A and B are shown apart, each in its own frame.
Chain A
């Protein structure tokens, strides 16, 4: 009976074996699918967040840029009209020009924190206090920063008072009145806010630099600056690259609350950067279609600049190696 049972089940088993063989291949397929599935599950939350709260609004924004929006009347499709207006509008050109001028200060944003970090790295007396002090500005909301500096940069403010006291009276100009000086002051204030973050970033980078390399260079007679530029910088290439990208988006995007608080884009349009122009166009001029078009231009601009910065940093890094 067991034999007949076996015989009975044998063809079944045979039949079962075949699909199992396919199943073997199939289970190999299942195995791969399972792995990708798991990976997908891991990626899903973040991807969903990024898509829902950034990509979808961005796409809707692109759609908005193709609409003509007169105040709060019903929008009508207008194709590339907003883009044509934008390209012809001198205030848009001016804002991007201001952005480029502000962006030209990027080397200072990159190098100054590095120098300071290296100084602190020497563990001069009180370095821990300085480290904390430098980071403090980052924690202060931009609104406050704007209000504070409007007072500090006033013609009779403390900055000018100090400049006059140390004999630099010709420098005690009306900082926020002149177009270039206002833009410069704005960038300087932004740098003031941000540089502590850079110092911290570089400091942690420096802590990965091996002692021996530095010692060897010192024994070779390398002074502070040579150490910094010829030994440290190449070693920290990727940290510098990361910080550079952060600064790029910081200068081009993050400055908005600061502009609003400090100068409101004035005097005239001297400190209007594209992000601020998007704000006034959308909310003061009630033209959100045009605002979206300018915003898209800004997005492309920032993306290109960031990609450029990244490539330079990493290409150089590769070349050095």
Chain B
């Protein structure tokens, strides 16, 4: 009798577990809809004509049209802008990561004096509001001779992405046992070799995580490209998309199409690096 009672209790509790699992799934589905709907909304808008959008902004598609995408490609030199964005974002990413790697190594492994102060200084640069420094930043860039150049934007991106990178990589390095470094030193390896042959391969998860974070904001940023490139033909893709809305000519379907075009590369990059981001990188870093 006790056996059946026990098994009854187990079915009840396992039913509860099943119910709980379905409830959880329901909640997650609702959230996923909330998360995805605006994007779907934008895609739908991009396939509507202006008239159709004005008539029924929130309705579904009646006739699909690609005229917005065609116009986007006509008005923007999409491939040139894409190239500009790739050059500046990739450059900024690489430079930012390398600089962060160096600082992280110096602070955590070389244990340099004053290392912590340098670390704190770099991190503190994270909290400077961007609107404040537009004028001074432009003046500084001009003084350095970087106005309207790829280098200027790459350096600015690197500087703005540095705090996050330094923080994550330093924390990640701290978790790597010192013995590993010592052993390599005893083997006669120089610092550069240690950094690039030993630490770098171990830290790929952290670097991947850092890269996707920095990549997204660098790709989407409007402020720095405007301040540094102005309206020159080296402008980035995002600036080009912003140009789709003229002074008095604002068409939501057109802007939506432009935004989907700008978003596509980001999604591609995300798909490629998905696994690295989620492989315990960040937490391993901040433990």
User: So, do A and B actually touch in the complex, CB under 8 Å?
Assistant: yes
B-binding residues in A (CB < 8 A): 35-36, 38-40, 42-47, 49-50, 52-61, 64, 116, 119-120, 122, 124-127, 129-145, 147-149, 151-152, 157-158, 192, 196-197, 200-208, 224, 236, 238-239, 241-242, 249, 252-253, 256-257, 274-276, 278-279, 282, 288, 291-292, 294-296, 298-299, 302-303, 306
Q: Are A148 and B42 in contact (CB under 8 A)?
A: yes
**Chain B interface helix/strand/loop/mixed:** helix
Residues from 223 to 255 in B contacting A, C-beta threshold 8 Å: 238, 242, 252, 255
Q: Which residues of B contact A (CB under 8 A)?
A: 20-21, 24-25, 27-28, 31-32, 34-39, 41-42, 57-58, 95-96, 98-100, 102-103, 105-107, 110, 112-113, 115, 118, 121-122, 124-137, 139-141, 144, 155-156, 158-160, 162-163, 166-167, 191, 209, 213, 216, 220, 222, 238, 242, 252, 255-256, 259, 262-263, 266-267, 270, 274, 277-284, 286-287
Partner of A253, one of B121, B127, B139, B255: B127
29 A-B Cβ contacts within 8 A? A38-B191, A43-B103, A43-B112, A43-B115, A47-B122, A50-B159, A52-B140, A52-B155, A53-B140, A60-B135, A60-B136, A60-B139, A122-B24, A136-B39, A139-B267, A140-B259, A144-B259, A145-B38, A148-B38, A157-B58, A204-B209, A205-B286, A208-B284, A208-B287, A239-B282, A256-B131, A274-B129, A275-B131, A291-B131
Distance between A82 CB and nearest chain B CB, rounded to angstroms: 13
Chain A residues touching B, majority SS? helix
Interchain CB contact under 8 A, B99 and A200:
no
Asked if residues A288 and B160 are in contact (CB atoms below 8 Å), the reply is no
- Residues of A within 8 Å of B133, CB to CB, are 54, 57-58, 60-61, 295
Q: Which residues of A contact B280 (CB under 8 A)?
A: 204, 207-208
Known contacts A46-B122, A49-B162, A124-B24: does B129 contact A275 (CB below 8 Å)? yes
Centre residue among A43, A47, A208, A294 by max chain B CB count within 10 A = A43
